Amino acid sequence: MSTFYFIAFLSVFFSILVITAKNPVHSILYLILTFFTFTIHYILMNAQFLAIVNFIVYMGAILVLFLYTLMLINLNKDSEPLKSNLVKVAAYIGGACFFITIVSALKAFNTSQLVILTNPNLGLVKNLGKILFNEYLLPFEVSSILLLSAMVGAVLLATKETKTA
Amino acid sequence: MESIPQYIQAIPLNHYILLCALIFSIGVTGVLLRRNAIVIFMSVELMLNSVNLLLTAFSVYRGDATGQVFVFFIMALAAAEVAIGLAIIVMIYRNTNSIDINVLNRLKW
């Protein structure tokens, strides 16, 4: 039980570092650590499929893509012009207000039941695969079309325009 | 892997909601705070992930696997979004030689 609180502390700590780090490369590395703690959260809830997918897709693919782009456009130095202090304070106040709104809405519930895994097979690949390919077959196929169109769009956007066009 | 469910004990649902709300608001603060387009994009990823975690927690709480299938779709969507977004950022960099979002104010007014 205390594992959860330790990992939750680490998630919050690293995600604060993500938005405060001056160097964008450090920011990305902290984001990788944050996602790693999220993977541990999934394992603690016995959602094994999501843990693996989070590990492979987020930490393996998406963050490497971020790192690649950052190195491609060669901005790994502290070149970011900072916002004025007024805007910074406004940003912190805005974020805090958002958090306070959610917390006070949560207080209105006034009850907090425990998260208990009744069915240990819930998050296993076998169980999720059965649901995914029976009930959610159409959304699955549509998401494959989404990925294909995203790939085509990314290639189209990132290629240099020729002068003859 | 059979021994893992023993560790999942008695964490109140509110604590999951608080954690995810905190990380979501850190993401919101990051979007408001930074001017680097890539860091803003990463804050958006942070928000998406906090929602994913909360969906999984609710799915375990209700004993319903649909939430986890939904998280899977959100991950597919996030991958597509990152590919397109980074392509747009590369294009912006090629045109303006910077990824400072304050340069992109031509659509203002």
User: What is the reported pLDDT for B37?
Assistant: 86
User: What is the reported pLDDT for B93?
Assistant: 85
User: What is the reported pLDDT for A1?
Assistant: 66
Domains in chain B with CATH codes: 12-99 (1.10.287.3510)
User: What is the reported pLDDT for B106?
Assistant: 74
Question: Which tens digit of pLDDT belongs to each residue from B10-53?
Answer: 688 888 899 999 999 999 999 998 888 888 999 999 999 999 99
B88: nearest CA partner in chain A: A157
Report the b/e string of B3-22 with b at 16+ CB within 10 A.
eebeebeebebbbbbbbbbb
List B100's β-bridge partners, or say none: B36
CA atoms in the 13 A half-sphere facing the CB of A8: 17
Q: Which residues 56-75 of chain A have a CB within 8 Å of chain B?
A: 57-58, 61-62, 65-66, 69-70, 72-73, 75
Q: How far off is chain B from A33, nearest CA to CA, in Å?
A: 12
- DSSP per position, A101-149: HHHHHHHTT----EE--S-TTTTSHHHHHHHHHHTTHHHHHHHHHHHHH
CB contact under 8 A, B61 and A88: no
- Cα–Cα dist B59/B107, whole Å: 42
User: What is the reported pLDDT for B73?
Assistant: 93
Q: At what angle do helices B66-96 and A63-72 cross, to 10 degrees?
A: 0
User: What is the reported pLDDT for B4?
Assistant: 57
Q: At what angle do helices A85-107 and B13-33 cross, to 10 degrees?
A: 160
Question: Which tens digit of pLDDT belongs to each residue from A10-42?
Answer: 999 999 999 988 888 899 999 999 999 999 999
User: φ, ψ for residue B100 (rounded to 5)?
Assistant: -75, 125
The maximal CA–CA distance of chain A, rounded, in angstroms, is: 66
List the one residue out of B106, B39, B94, B103 whose CA is nearest residue A159.
Answer: B94
Mean pLDDT by 10 residues, chain A (165 residues): 87 92 89 93 88 90 88 66 79 92 84 74 85 91 93 87 60
CATH hierarchy code of domain A2-76+83-158: 1.20.120.1200
| Contacting residues of B for A155, CB less than 8 Å apart | 87
Nearest to A70 among B15, B21, B38 (CB): B38
CB contact under 8 A, B38 and A91: no
User: What is the reported pLDDT for A97?
Assistant: 94
Compute CA A45 distance to the chain's CA centroid, rounded to the nearest angstrom. Answer: 17
